[in-house]
């Protein structure tokens, strides 16, 4: 079995790679080769930084169609920006069209929240740190992870899918926003499982054992 971590020079792939190697004996490769990606058994699609740069890099490497294809055929894990660009459009940087696997948009926190939450705590952007995920779907990737477990987040934008049924987890940061989505062979999470200690490693382990059925 081979797990391909898609490299489009956006973000710290080494962390994802090291964490996967920690939880599986399967071969884990970091690659931007369409053939390697199409031949792999599982796909991890990470990402960090700005949506526009991500899309530019994916286009430059002719990976948009490849990502679209494997996201419909193999167990597929999107992480952080790798979740956001699955949507149709992001408002980031004046607006950028994304991969469009799911109908919906990527929104900026500042357009939806105030300076503090209901309890009076300041909401600083980016949200940086450990927040809870309420599991809104039963899913094999949540196996052995407690509901409301804390994961490590760093982000200023969040996904807003049209189809609320694909939301798999929800987090509160001034508003309740979708922090995980899942449909068929795809699971995507806004937090960084590779940096979320034992619960994060458990999620990655669950992914390496997942048959891609929801």
Query: In the bound complex, what is the minimum distance in angstroms from residue 162's beta carbon to other proteins?
Result: 27
Contacts of other proteins in 177-196 (CB under 8 A): 194-196
If the CB atoms of residues 19 and 70 are measured against other proteins, the closer one turns out to be 19
Query: In the bound complex, what is the minimum distance in angstroms from residue 109's beta carbon to other proteins?
Result: 12
Q: How far is Cα 172 from Cα 149, in angstroms, rounded to an integer?
A: 13
Task: Check 17, 54, 92, 194 and give the catalytic one.
Answer: 194
Q: 58, 15, 53: which is closest to 37 by C-alpha? A: 58
Concerning whether 98 is annotated as a catalytic residue, the answer is: no
Binding flag, residue 109, other proteins (CB under 8 A): no
In terms of Cβ atoms closer than 10 Å to its own Cβ (0-12, 13-18, 19+), residue 37 is buried
If the CB atoms of residues 121 and 213 are measured against other proteins, the closer one turns out to be 121
Size of the site for other proteins (CB under 8 A): 37
Residue 100 near residue 161, CB atoms below 8 Å: no
Residue 52 near residue 96, CB atoms below 8 Å: yes
List the beta strands (DSSP E) in 92-156. Answer: 96-97, 102-108, 127-135, 149-155
Binding flag, residue 94, other proteins (CB under 8 A): no
Binding flag, residue 14, other proteins (CB under 8 A): yes
Binding flag, residue 172, other proteins (CB under 8 A): yes
R_g of the chain, CA atoms, integer Å: 16
Angle between helix 13-23 and helix 197-208 axes, rounded to 10 deg? 70
Q: Which residues participate in catalysis according to the annotation?
A: 80, 192, 194
Contacts with other proteins by CB under 8 A lie at 11-12, 14-15, 18-19, 22, 48-50, 117, 119, 121-122, 124-132, 148, 150, 152-155, 172-173, 194-197, 200-201
């Amino acid at each position: 079995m081979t797990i391909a971590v898609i490299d489009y020079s956006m973000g710290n792939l080494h962390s994802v790679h090291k964490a996967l190697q920690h939880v599986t004996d399967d071969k884990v490769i970091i690659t931007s080769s369409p053939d390697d990606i199409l031949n792999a058994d599982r796909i991890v699609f990470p990402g960090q930084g700005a949506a526009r740069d991500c899309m530019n890099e994916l286009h430059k490497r002719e990976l948009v169609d490849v990502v679209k294809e494997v996201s419909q055929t193999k167990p597929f894990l999107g992480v952080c920006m790798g979740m956001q660009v699955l949507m149709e459009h992001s408002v980031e940087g004046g607006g950028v069209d994304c991969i469009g696997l799911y109908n919906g948009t990527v929104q900026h926190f500042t357009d939806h929240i105030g300076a503090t939450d209901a309890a009076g705590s300041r909401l600083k952007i980016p949200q940086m740190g450990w927040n809870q995920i309420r599991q809104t779907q039963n899913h094999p990737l949540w196996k052995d992870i407690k509901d409301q477990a804390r994961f490590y987040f760093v982000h200023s934008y969040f996904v807003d899918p049209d189809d609320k049924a694909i939301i798999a987890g929800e987090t509160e940061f001034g508003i309740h926003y979708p922090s995980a989505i899942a449909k068929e062979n795809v699971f995507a999470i806004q937090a960084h499982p590779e940096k979320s200690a034992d619960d994060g490693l458990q999620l990655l382990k669950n992914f390496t054992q997942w048959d891609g059925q929801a």
